[in-house]
Amino acid sequence: MRQGRARWLAGLAIVTGMAISALPAYAKETAEPVKITSFSGAYLAARIAEGDNDLDSAIAYYKQALAFAPGDTALQQSLMLSLIAQGRFEESLVYADKLKE
C-alpha cells in the first residue's frame, strides 16, 4: 500500500515537473513611470518600486516626490542610496552634498 502511494507521488512529481518546464518563461516587463500628481503617490510608488528592486523606476518616482518636497532630507537620502545601488555615483554626489549641509 505504501509503495503504491510512493510510486503514485513520484509519478505525480515527475509529471508536474515536466508540465512546469514546458511553460514559456517571460522576461520582466518594465513599464514607463507614471506621472504622479501628489507627494504621497510619488513616495509610495518609489517605495514599492524599490521593494520590487526596480531601481530605475524608484529613482524616477523619488525625483517626482522631491518636486513636491525639495527639502525632505529622508527623501533625498533614499534617492541617493537608490542612485548608489544603481551605480550612478556622480549623480548621487549631488544629493550627498545637499545632505552634508
- Work out the number of other CB atoms within 10 angstroms of the CB of residue 77: 15
What residues contact 69, with CB distance under 8 A and at least 6 apart? 39, 75
Q: What is the pLDDT of residues 41-78, one digit of tens each?
A: 999 999 999 999 999 999 999 999 999 999 999 999 99
Domains of the chain: 39-100 (1.25.40.10)
Q: Which three cell numbers stand for residue 6?
A: 510512493
Cα 20 from Cα 45, distance rounded (Å): 33
- Work out the number of other CB atoms within 10 angstroms of the CB of residue 91: 14
Q: What is the pLDDT of residues 66-76, one digit of tens each?
A: 999 999 999 99
